[in-house]
Structure 1
C-alpha cells in the first residue's frame, strides 16, 4: 500500500494545478483539468466505470456497494485538485527523505529553505518514516494532492477487495478550493451522497468538525481631488483616508496576534488614487456574534475617520463567504463519532480540532451535504517547506477504509 499511495502522490504533485482568484471562469485555470483527466483515467483503470470530468473540472465517481443491506447511507470522500496561489506550484520537484532519522531537513533547490524541527515539532513523530518534500523552490502540493492520493489508493483497495462490506461511496475531486470557489458548481443531486468527509486536514489522527465563519468587507472611499498647489483647506486625499482606517485597526485583532478560538480583522488589499480608494478585508470568527461585532467595529472606525473629511463619502459592503460547519454537523453527530472510531481502528489516538480557516466541507455542509474534515497528513501548507510522510498517507487510506466499513456495520 505504501508504494501505491506515495507513487500516486509523486505522480500528482508534478502537475501544475494552481488556481487564480483573478480569473472569472470555473475552473479558474484550465490546467487543473490536466490532473482531473489523469484521475478519471486511473479510476477507469481500477474498475470504476462511471468516473468522469465535468465542464467545471470536477471529477465524479462511484465505488459500488458490496453489502446486501439497502439502508447504508451513501458516503462521499472529497479532496481538491488546485494548489494555492500563495507560492509557485509549477515545476514541482519532489524528493523523498527515506527513513528520516531526525534533525532539520535542508531542501536541495534553495539552501535558505530548511524545515526546522524547532518550527515543526511534529517532525519528532516522524522518525523512521519516509518524508516527501519539494526542492524548496515551489510548494509541494500536499494540500490537497495527499488527500487525492489517499482517496484513490483507498478506492483501489476497496475495488480489489469486494469481501470488505460497505455501502455505495461517492468520490468528488474539486477545483478552485484555494480561492474559495471549490464547490459552487457541484451538482449535489448527481453526487447523491448523504454525508461526506473532506480529506484536507493536517496531522495524522485529526478530525475537524468546526471552521471559522467568514465574511469579506469592501470599503470604497470617495475623496476630494484637487491640484496640490491649490489644495489648502480643500483636498481630501482618499489614499490618506484609507491609511488612517488601517492605522486604527486594533493590533490585538490581527491574524498575526490571534490564535486558538480568537477571530480577526485582516486587510487583504488596498488600492487608490487621490480621488478614490478601495480597501478589502476578510473577517473571521467561530461565532456569528463575533463576526458581526468585528464588522461593526470596522464600520465604526471608518465612520470616525470620515468625520475629519466632511467632503468625502464611503460605502461599506459585507459579503458572506462561508459559515462554521459545526452548526450542521452537530445535527448529525454520527459523522464525527464514526470518524473518531475509524481513526482508532486505523491505529491512532484521535484528536478533535477546529480549523482557523474554511474547507470545501463548510460550504458543502450548508448546501445540504454535512461534511467533516479528516487529516491528509501534510504540514506547512502554502509554503516551500510543505511536507508529508508516506506512513501518514497510509494511515489516512486505512481510515477511509475503516469509515466505509463502519457506516455499513452500523446501518
Structure 2
C-alpha cells in the first residue's frame, strides 16, 4: 500500500523548504495545505506567538468517533545550515550535497506520517481517531510540545517519530535534563600594573572545573560544559565568565544530586576567591520510562511483526517531544526514523527506512 515514489518525492520537497527553529512558516504552510487536501480538521495553535516564532504547531484531526485516539507527531524545525538544501539520491540513500544538513531530522518522520494518512484515505482503512501534530521549536528546547495543550485532545497514546536508528527501534526511556548558565563575577584590574587587585573569573572557574564531575558519570548520567564566554582584553584581569552547562540522567535522584554537588563546588570556590556566583540552571524537561509490557509498546511490536521488521526497545541519551507528552500524562514512545549522522553535513537516510517506517505506522492504525 505504501507508494515509495510518492513518499520519496514528498520527503524531497520538504527538505528543500528551509525551516530553522522559530522560522517554520513556509514548512507550516506546506503542511497545512496537505492536511486540508487529505480531509483532516486542521488548525494552528499559538505556540509560535508564545515562543517568539513565526509559526505555531500544525494540528490535524482525522475523526473516528468512539474509538481510541492516537497521536502521531514529528517536528518541523531543523538545525542549521538548512537555507538551501540540495538533496542527492545515490544507491537508494538520500543525502545533501554536502553544503548543508539534510533535514531528515525530522522531515523523515513527517513524510512517514503523511504517507500513512494517504494510505488510510485511498484504501478507506478502518482506523482509530488520529491527531497529527507537527511541532515547532523542538531543536531549541522542545518549545512546541511544551506549548501544545495535548490534554484537551483526549489522546490515549502518543507515537513520536524522532529517533535515529532503524525503524523497529522503540525508545521507551529517556533522561531528564537540566540546562542553563553558570556565571562567575570576579573583579577587573590592570593585568600589567595591578593584577593582584583583581579577581580573575577564569582562574576561579578553572579551580572549580577541576573538582566537578564532567563527561560520562555513570551509565545513566552525563554532565557537560559546552560553551565558555568571558574576557575583554589581554591587559584586563578577566572580570566575569559565563559557562553553558547541562546535565542529564535517567534517574531524577542522580540528576538532582549531581546538580547540587556542582553548584556547591562552584559556590565554595567562589567564596575562597571572593568572587560572586550566579546560576540559572534548571530542569529543562523531565525524563520518562516505560516498561516493555505496556500496551503502547506491544502495539508497536505487533505492528513491526506484521510487516516483518525486527523490533527492540532502547533508552536514549537525548530528549524529544516524547519527554513532554509523557510528563503531561500521555504515554508516548519515540520511534526510530532511520536518520543517520543527524546535525551534520554528512546526514543521510535510506529510502528503505522511510518505507519501513510508513509500513509500521499503517499497521499501528490498522490495529
TM over 0.5: yes
Cα 1:13/1:331, change in 2 over 3 Å: same
2:71 counterpart residue number? 76
Alignment match of 1:225 (pick from 188, 211, 231): 188
Alignment match of 2:229 (pick from 268, 271, 278): 271
Query: Post-superposition shift, 1:17?
Result: 0.6
Give the whole-Å Cα distance in 2 for the aligned partners of 1:231 and 1:223. Answer: 15
Give the whole-Å Cα distance in 1 for the aligned partners of 2:300 and 2:331. Answer: 13
Give the whole-Å Cα distance in 2 for the aligned partners of 1:330 and 1:262. Answer: 17
Alignment match of 2:32 (pick from 30, 40, 57): 40
Give the whole-Å Cα distance in 2 for the aligned partners of 1:402 and 1:196. Answer: 15
1:91 and 2:91 correspond:
no
* 1:194-273 equivalence runs, <5 A: 194-202=156-164, 203-231=166-194, 233-250=196-213, 253-254=214-215, 261-273=219-231
Query: Post-superposition shift, 1:53?
Result: 3.0
Q: Secondary structure at the residue paired with 2:31?
A: helix
1:188 and 2:150 correspond:
yes
Alignment match of 1:294 (pick from 249, 258, 270): 258
Cα 1:139/1:18, change in 2 over 3 Å: same
Cα 1:54/1:307, change in 2 over 3 Å: closer
1:123 counterpart residue number? none
Give the whole-Å Cα distance in 1 for the aligned partners of 2:196 and 2:35. Answer: 70
Query: Post-superposition shift, 1:194?
Result: 2.1
Alignment match of 1:147 (pick from 88, 109, 114): 109
> How many residue pairs get matched?
349
Which deviations, in whole Å up to 9, do the C-alpha atoms of 1:73-99 show, x marking residues without a partner? 200100000002xx41111000111xx
Which deviations, in whole Å up to 9, do the C-alpha atoms of 1:335-374 show, x marking residues without a partner? 1111111111121110111111001010111123221111
Deviates more, 1:180-189 or 1:354-363: 180-189
Q: Secondary structure at the residue paired with 2:270?
A: helix
Supply the RMSD in Å over aligned alpha carbons: 2.1
Give the whole-Å Cα distance in 2 for the aligned partners of 1:16 and 1:308. Answer: 50
1:391 counterpart residue number? 352
- Unpaired segments ≥5 residues, structure 1: 20-27, 101-129, 407-411
Q: Secondary structure at the residue paired with 1:136?
A: coil
Cα 1:184/1:236, change in 2 over 3 Å: same
Give the whole-Å Cα distance in 1 for the aligned partners of 2:11 and 2:217. Answer: 33
- By percentage of residues, which structure has more strand? 2
2:282 counterpart residue number? 319
TM-score normalised by the chain length of structure 2: 0.89
Query: Post-superposition shift, 1:173?
Result: 0.3
Cα 1:232/1:269, change in 2 over 3 Å: closer
Query: Post-superposition shift, 1:223?
Result: 1.0
Query: Post-superposition shift, 1:230?
Result: 4.6
Q: Secondary structure at the residue paired with 1:184?
A: helix
Cα 1:375/1:74, change in 2 over 3 Å: same
Give the whole-Å Cα distance in 2 for the aligned partners of 1:388 and 1:301. Answer: 44
2:58 counterpart residue number? 59
Give the whole-Å Cα distance in 1 for the aligned partners of 2:291 and 2:324. Answer: 15
> Contact 1:217–1:283 at 8 Å: present in 2 too?
no
Query: Post-superposition shift, 1:318?
Result: 3.1
TM-score normalised by the chain length of structure 1: 0.80
Give the whole-Å Cα distance in 2 for the aligned partners of 1:331 and 1:292. Answer: 27
1:159 and 2:124 correspond:
no
Q: Secondary structure at the residue paired with 2:303?
A: helix
Give the whole-Å Cα distance in 1 for the aligned partners of 2:45 and 2:267. Answer: 47
- Structure 1 runs of 4+ aligned residues shifted over 6 Å read none
Give the whole-Å Cα distance in 2 for the aligned partners of 1:59 and 1:293. Answer: 38
Alignment match of 1:281 (pick from 229, 234, 245): 245
Which deviations, in whole Å up to 9, do the C-alpha atoms of 1:139-160 show, x marking residues without a partner? 1000000000000000011111
